[in-house]
Structures are given as structure tokens and as C-alpha cells.
Amino acid sequence: MLCVKPYGMLCKIFVVPFYEMWDLPDIFVQTLWEGLVGGTLYSLIALGFVLVFKASGVFNFAQGIMVVFAALSLVGLHSIGVPAFLALILAAGIMFVLAYSVERVVLRPLVNQPDIILFMATFGLTYFLIGLGELIFGGDPKVMITKQLYIPTGALSFDFGGGRVELQKLDITAMVVASVMVAGLAVFFSKTRIGRALRAVADSHKAALSVGISLNQIWVIVWFAAGLVALVTGIMWGARSEVSFALEIIALKALPVLILGGFTSIPGAIVGGLIIGIGEKVGEIYWGPLLGGGIESWLAYMIALAFLLFRPQGLFGEKIIERI
Amino acid sequence: MLYREAGQFKTNYRADMAVFPILQDRIGVFLILLVAFAVIPFVGSNFFLHAIMIPFLIFALATIGLNILTGYTGLLSLGTGGFMGVGAYACYKLATVFPEVHILVWVVASGFVSAAVGVVFGLPSLRIKGFYLAVATLASQFFLSWCFIRIPWLVNYNVSNAIEVPRRSLFGIAVTGPDATPQARYLVVLTVVVAMTWIASNLVRGRIGRMWMAVRDMDIAAELMGIRLLNTKLLAFAVSSFYCGVAGALLVFLYYGSAEATAFSINQSFAVLSMVIIGGLGSLVGSFMGAALIFTLPILLPHIMAALGIPIQSATAEQISFMVVGALIIFFLIVEPHGLARLWQIAKQKLRVWPYPY
């Protein structure tokens, strides 16, 4: 309608999407909101990655399956008759057992190995947890126990710009929970004794050891914290769709968030998640049709890649200094 | 006692630089090739050839490809599945558009297509490295997967949206398509894999391989020594993608017979990466060992369990094999972080000094 013949394609790329945003602001706001919520969930997964990477230098590939495993434990426990909140505590307990055994069985014998070996070990852990999860809970998708955990459902809707914008209460809860958790982690890191020890380990393993911090203990704590983050992520994401092993692949979306934000930065994980979430939703809705749709699957990576070309260490990552 | 190089003197540089400088190695490799070419095709059952040997050799080829990139040049890549897919789709496209040309020509040509794509996606490696690069290569994986699904031109507008391998023959014997015998396919795969392994072994021993290894050990130092990082890294991407592309083309044409885009998903990349790391980074022998272990383990596991008298259903068998593969990956990493290739080296060293401990 707007585009004149010789500039058809350029116009479709550079003009029409923005015109549509302006013309139908309700859809635009709805898209932004969806992106924001998706981004929050990516941030949560990325947060788990960052916690482990900071404290132990391990690129924890298993974070995605930990999300699935935590959510499955919760649903599985509830389905055999455990009250919802007791099941929540027990699921957290399972994550602690997992953290302890990972430290004992995987990390301790592999201490001082190159990064790629540790990465591969978490890869083995992923396989193991997929098999274990399917063996215990079965491979079919499950419904998250939203009502029993008193998570509000339904939608708030209001008029905006000539249309209606719908905000799922679930999504609002997810954002509130995510913010509370990030705030909690920030306080934990800066105010408590363990938090200080964690930061010391993140700075230098050797220096931390020399002032009497137990690395093994710290790793258990960090993996447990990552497990708790995984549990919360699993609940929120499970409530939005369902608890299934497909989540594990979706969790790979947290990787572009990581490189965007920097592997070692918690604020980076949050901001990166929001940029990726909004970017891919807006891209999919307004530019996706030009390419035949479905570009959500790789757009996030391309956004991250474009950022990387200008800042190789991510938005908030520490400057990479190399010595010869 | 048997494996000892004492008394084997090299009188010229040529002999010193040979692929197998020790006589026993030459005999060993000759015997292995003899068994592979002349015994296995006639003794092995169809199941053994089709379900184990053919895919094992193809995955070994892909593993060599990734090993060149990750093991020799130190660039971590998670896009192997995508590059294998490029090879497969290019080969299909070329073979159907020009049906009269020899199929092996197209297998090699598809490797070049894959190499070109690999170079494009290798460009970010100039700025970023390590895990950042690994995630960047994921971009290529997901983008290529998306292309395979969304561009029907690649599969000639098939209704099924899948590659359906046409019948092609070599010296009058069908090697691809439904009526090709496993023996014929096995021999074709074996020939290609042996030839390309030989080329790879010469590449990594020569100037190019040394450049790659210098970049792996420290790229800034390598640059200061006068190695052009741009050329070296992109060459590694090109050669690696070439190998992966040929492996992908072979995989579809001589093993699967037909394939959808899901055959080249992210899981394929992870599988090949685990073969590289379990086999040993920077080792060609290790590539074969890693491929053998990771590929055959899930196939053999139910049989092993049945032999041990543990009755299991097939669904449980799959889950347990997942667990066992995962546990074994961790186990092998703990026992020998340098992969199976290092175990092989240790065994050779022990043989050399036997019967003395050192």
C-alpha cells in the first residue's frame, strides 16, 4: 500500500514494519509484553548459567535439563500425593542432592582440567539426567500444578490505542518472582559471608583457597543455587506451557543471552535476556513474514552475534586481556 | 618385544617424515585395511555392514572434520550438524539437477559447497573465541536448520519436504537408492573415508597443520610469528566444513536413504562433538575411536544387557542407554581427559618397553 514499485523490498523491510507498529499500537504493546515475559524466562535460565560459570568456571550445559528435572520432580512428587508446598521443599532437596553429587562425582575428580573437558562433563550429565528423568517420570508432557501453588491464572485486559491488551497474571507473577529472586541473589552475594566467599572464588580460585575458603563447599552451594533457580524457572515456564523435555532445547536460547550479557555478569543475564526476548518477538511479528516465518529459532543468535562483533566480551563482561 | 623401532634407521628426510615411520605401524595399518576391504564385506552380515560399519565410518569422517577445527585449531564449534546438512542438501540438489554426472563427483563437490558456507560462518571466529565462539556457531546451526525446513527449493519442492535419494550406480553396480546392496555401499564409504583420512593426516603433519596448532596453542603468539590468523582460521573452517559436508552427503546418500531437516539438528552437532572429545582432541586415530564408542554404544547396549541376563523393555532400554552414555562420558573424562587416543599412546609406550616397566 505504501510501497512504490522500484523500492518494494527495501520499503517492506525498512518502512512497513514501523508503520504497522504506529498504526496498531495495541498489537505492538502486546508484542513487547510477550517479548518481555519470554525474555524474563531466558534471563532466569541464563542466571543459572552465570552463577555456575562465575564460581567454578564451568560452562554448565546441564542447566536446561536441570530446569526440566526440577519441574518434573515437583510435579511427580505431587502426583503421588505429596502436598504441593511439601513437594516444593522436597524438589529443592532433590536439587541439593544433585548439586552435592555433581560436586562429588564430576567436579572434584576433574579439578584443574581445561574448560572444554568440564563442558563435556556437563554434557554427559545432561545425557544422564535426560535418561534418569524419562526413566522415573516418563517421557510424556505434564501439567504444572499451578493452582496448588497458588499461582494466579487468568488475564488482566485493558483498552489501549483502540484495541485490547491482555496481560496474563501468570506472566506478571513470573516477572515479580524473577525480580525478587535477582534482588535476593544480589543481597546474598553482597551481604552474607557465603556470598563474599563466592565472589572471592569467582575472582581467583587460588587466592580464595589461601584465605581458607573451601572450594568444594562453595561449588555445592553454587550448584544448589543454580538448582533453585532452575526450579523456579521450571515452575514458571511449566505453568506457561507444560513440563516436557522440549524445554531443554528451548533452554539453549539462554546461550545467546549469555554471550550478549557476558558469561560472568548477573545484570548482563537480565538485560541480555530482555533484549533477546523483545528482539526476537518483535522480529518474528514484524519482519518474520518477509522470510516465511519461524525466524524466532535463529534470530536471537543473530542479534547476539551482531553485538559480539562490536563487543567480543558481551555487554557487561569483563574486558578480555591477553598476555603472551 | 614385537613393537619396537630399534634398528630401523632413517637415512633420508623422506623416510623420517613418512605417515607411518615405524615398520610395525605400516604392517598394522596394512592389515587393518586388508581386513576392512577384503574380509568385512564378505564376512559381515548385512545388519553389521549397514547398521554399524557404514554409519561408524561416516561419523568418523565428520569427527575428523570437527577435530580439525576444534582439536587442531582450537575453535570450538557446535554447528557440525548444519554443515553436514549443507553437504547433504547440496549433493541432493546437484545429483538431481545433473543426473548424468558421476555421483562421487557430486559428493566431493558438495563438500566444497559446505566449505564455502563454513567460511562465511567462520568469519566471527576472527573476533571471538572459546565458548563465545561456540555459541556463535550455534547461530549457523539454527539458521541452516531453518533454511532446510523453510526453503522447498532445496528438496525440489517434494511433498514430503525430505531428501529422497535417487538411484545411482558406479561401474554398473547400484551404490545409492533402495536397491543398492550394503556391500557396495560399504566399499564406497570405506574408500572415501580412507582417502580423506590419508589426506587429513598429511594436512595436519605439514605446514598447514603446524599453523593450525600454533593458532590453537596461542593465537596472538602465532600472529606475532607471522601466521596470518584470518587465512589460517578460515582455512580450518573450510577444511572442517568440507569434511563435514562430505560426511553429510554420504550419510544421506549411503546410509539414511532419505532424510528430513531433523537429521541435521543440533543433536547431531552435539553427538559429533562428544565423539571428538571422547576420542581425543587433535588426534585422527582418536576420531575413529570416539566415533566407534559413541555411535555403537547405544546400539550394542541392549544386546550387552540381554547377554548379562538383565531383562528390559525397549523403551526402558533407550532411557538406560542415555544414562549409561552420559555416565560413560563422565567416566572416560575422569579416567583420561585426553581421550581414548591417549590411552592408545600409553598402550603403545608400554608395548615399546615391554617387558620392562620403563
Q: Which amino acid is at B58?
A: I
Q: pLDDT per residue over A145-184, tens digit each?
A: 777 777 777 777 777 766 777 777 888 888 888 888 888 8
Q: Which residue of B has its CA nearest to A132?
A: B323
Query: Mapping DSSP to helix (H, G, I), strand (E, B) and coil, where does residue B101 land?
Result: coil
Per the structure, how many domains does chain A have? 1
Question: Which residues in chain B are closer than 8 Å to A263, comparing Cβ atoms?
Answer: 131-132
Query: Mapping DSSP to helix (H, G, I), strand (E, B) and coil, where does residue B2 land?
Result: coil
Q: Which residue of A has its CA nearest to B274?
A: A120
Tell whether A258 is covered by a domain: no
Residue B175: in which H helix or E strand, if any? strand B173-176
Determine the pLDDT at residue A244: 80
Q: Which residue of A has its CA nearest to B222?
A: A324
Determine the pLDDT at residue B211: 94
Cβ distance of B322 and A59 shorter than 8 Å: no
Q: Is the pLDDT of residue B194 over 90?
A: yes
Q: Pick from A140-144, B161-165, B211-215, B250-254 the range whose average pLDDT is largest.
A: B211-215
Tell whether B160 is covered by a domain: yes
- Considering only the beta carbons, identify the residue of A124, A304, A308 that sits closest to B127: A308
Give me the mean pLDDT over the B311-340 stretch: 80
- Cell 574380509 appears where? B39
Split at pLDDT 50, 70, 90, the class of B67 is: very high
Q: What is the C-alpha to C-alpha distance for residues A100 and A278, in angstroms, rounded to an integer?
A: 36
Determine the pLDDT at residue B312: 65
pLDDT higher for B41 or A293?
B41
Determine the pLDDT at residue A93: 94
Determine the pLDDT at residue A4: 65
- On the CB side of A77, CA atoms within 13 Å amount to 19
Cβ distance of A113 and B270 shorter than 8 Å: no
Determine the pLDDT at residue B21: 76
Determine the pLDDT at residue B311: 66
Q: pLDDT per residue over B21-30, tens digit each?
A: 778 888 888 9
Split at pLDDT 50, 70, 90, the class of A141 is: confident
Phi first, then psi: give them for residue B293, nearest 5 degrees: -70, -55
Q: What is the C-alpha to C-alpha distance for residues B108 and B103, in angstroms, rounded to an integer?
A: 9
Q: Is the pLDDT of residue B16 over 90?
A: no
Give me the mean pLDDT over the B104-109 stretch: 90
Cβ distance of A120 and B277 shorter than 8 Å: yes
Is A171 within 8 Å of A180 (Cβ atoms)?
A: no
b/e sequence A268-285, b meaning 16+ C-beta within 10 Å: bbbbbbbbbbbbbbbbbb
Q: Which amino acid is at B137?
A: T
Q: Which residue of A has its CA nearest to B272?
A: A120
Determine the pLDDT at residue B57: 94
Question: Which residues in chain A are closer than 8 Å to B281, comparing Cβ atoms?
Answer: 116
Determine the pLDDT at residue A61: 85
Tell whether B175 is covered by a domain: yes
Determine the pLDDT at residue A10: 72
Please indicate if any CB of chain A lies within 8 Å of the CB of B256.
no
Q: Is the pLDDT of residue B240 over 90?
A: yes
- Residue ranges making up the domain that contains B117: 20-353
Q: Which residue of B has its CA nearest to A263?
A: B132
Determine the pLDDT at residue B65: 95
Which residues, including other chains, have CB under 8 Å from residue B335's CB and lie 6 or more apart?
none
Which residues, including other chains, have CB under 8 Å from residue B333's CB and lie 6 or more apart?
A110, A113, A117, A120, A121, A124, B277, B278
Whole-structure pTM value: 0.88
Please indicate if any CB of chain B lies within 8 Å of the CB of A250.
no
Q: pLDDT per residue over A54-64, tens digit each?
A: 877 788 888 88
* Sequence-ordered alpha helix ranges (H) in B130-265: 131-150, 182-205, 207-217, 219-224, 229-250
Neighbours of B250 (CB within 10 A): 30
Give me the mean pLDDT over the B294-299 stretch: 83
Tell whether B11 is covered by a domain: no
pLDDT higher for B159 or B330?
B330
Question: Which residues in chain A are closer than 8 Å to B330, comparing Cβ atoms?
Answer: 105-106, 121, 124-125, 128
Determine the pLDDT at residue B228: 92
Q: Is the pLDDT of residue B219 over 60?
A: yes
DSSP state of B98: S
Determine the pLDDT at residue B314: 67
- Parallel, antiparallel, or unpaired for β B173-176 and B168-170? antiparallel
Neighbours of B107 (CB within 10 A): 25
Q: Which amino acid is at A316?
A: F
DSSP state of A142: B
Determine the pLDDT at residue A26: 78
Q: What is the ipTM of this complex?
A: 0.83
Split at pLDDT 50, 70, 90, the class of A79 is: confident
- If contacts are CB pairs under 8 Å, which of residues 265-324 in chain A contact chain B? 291-295, 297-298, 301-302, 304-305, 308-309, 312-314, 322, 324
Determine the pLDDT at residue A92: 93
Is B328 within 8 Å of B309 (Cβ atoms)?
A: no
Q: Is the pLDDT of residue B289 over 60?
A: yes
Neighbours of A130 (CB within 10 A): 22
Q: Is the pLDDT of residue A7 over 70?
A: no
The C-alpha cell that represents A75 in the structure block? 510435579
Q: What is the C-alpha to C-alpha distance for residues B105 and B83, in angstroms, rounded to an integer?
A: 18
- If contacts are CB pairs under 8 Å, which of residues 177-236 in chain A contact chain B? none
Tell whether A18 is covered by a domain: no
Determine the pLDDT at residue B131: 79
Determine the pLDDT at residue B133: 85
What percentage of chain B has pLDDT greater than the value 70?
A: 97
Q: Tell me the C-alpha to C-alpha distance, in Å, between residue B107 and each of B198, B211, B261, B313, B337.
A: 17, 28, 18, 40, 35
Give me the mean pLDDT over the A196-200 stretch: 85
- If contacts are CB pairs under 8 Å, which of residues 43-82 in chain A contact chain B? 59
Cβ distance of A255 and B138 shorter than 8 Å: yes
Cβ distance of B277 and A304 shorter than 8 Å: no
| Spacing of C-alpha A154 from chain mean position | 24
Q: Which amino acid is at B54?
A: I
Determine the pLDDT at residue B85: 93
Could you please report the per-residue DSSP string of A266-315?
A: HHHHHHHHHHHHHHHHHIIIIIGGGGTS-THHHHHHHHHHHHHHH-TT-S
Whether a cis peptide bond, with omega within 30° of 0, leads into B355 is yes
Query: Mapping DSSP to helix (H, G, I), strand (E, B) and coil, where does residue B129 land?
Result: coil
Cβ distance of A128 and B281 shorter than 8 Å: no
Tell whether A262 is covered by a domain: no
* Sequence-ordered alpha helix ranges (H) in chain A: 8-14, 16-23, 25-56, 63-79, 84-101, 115-137, 169-191, 193-203, 205-210, 215-240, 246-250, 254-261, 266-282, 296-310
Give me the mean pLDDT over the B86-108 stretch: 88
Cβ distance of A113 and B142 shorter than 8 Å: no
Please indicate if any CB of chain A lies within 8 Å of the CB of B152.
no
Within chain B, how many helices (H) and strands (E) appear? Answer: 16, 4
* Lowest mean pLDDT segment, chosen from A250-254, B61-65, B233-237, B248-252: A250-254
The C-alpha cell that represents B66 in the structure block? 570437527
Please indicate if any CB of chain A lies within 8 Å of the CB of B316.
yes
Tell whether A212 is covered by a domain: yes
Q: What is the C-alpha to C-alpha distance for residues B242 and B199, in angstroms, rounded to an integer?
A: 12
Please indicate if any CB of chain A lies within 8 Å of the CB of B126.
no
CA distance B178 to chain A (A): 33
CATH of the domain at B274: 1.10.3470
- If contacts are CB pairs under 8 Å, which of residues 60-89 in chain B contact chain A? 70, 76
CA distance B130 to chain A (A): 9
- Residue ranges making up the domain that contains A172: 40-153+164-252
Tell whether A317 is covered by a domain: no
Q: pLDDT per residue over B248-281, tens digit each?
A: 999 988 888 888 888 888 888 988 988 898 888 8
Angle in degrees, 0-180, between the axes of helices A16-23 and A25-56, rounded to the nearest 10? 110
- Mean pLDDT of chain A, nearest integer: 82
Determine the pLDDT at residue A99: 92
Q: What is the C-alpha to C-alpha distance for residues B69 and B76, in angstroms, rounded to an integer?
A: 7
Give me the mean pLDDT over the A46-51 stretch: 86
Per the structure, how many domains does chain B have? 1
Tell whether B358 is covered by a domain: no
Tell whether A15 is covered by a domain: no
Q: Is the pLDDT of residue A206 over 70?
A: yes
CA distance B19 to chain A (A): 29
Q: What is the C-alpha to C-alpha distance for residues B330 and A49, in angstroms, rounded to an integer?
A: 20
Determine the pLDDT at residue B87: 93
CA distance A303 to chain B (A): 10
| Spacing of C-alpha A14 from chain mean position | 31
Give me the mean pLDDT over the B314-338 stretch: 81
The partner residues of B258 in beta bridges, in order of sequence, read B164
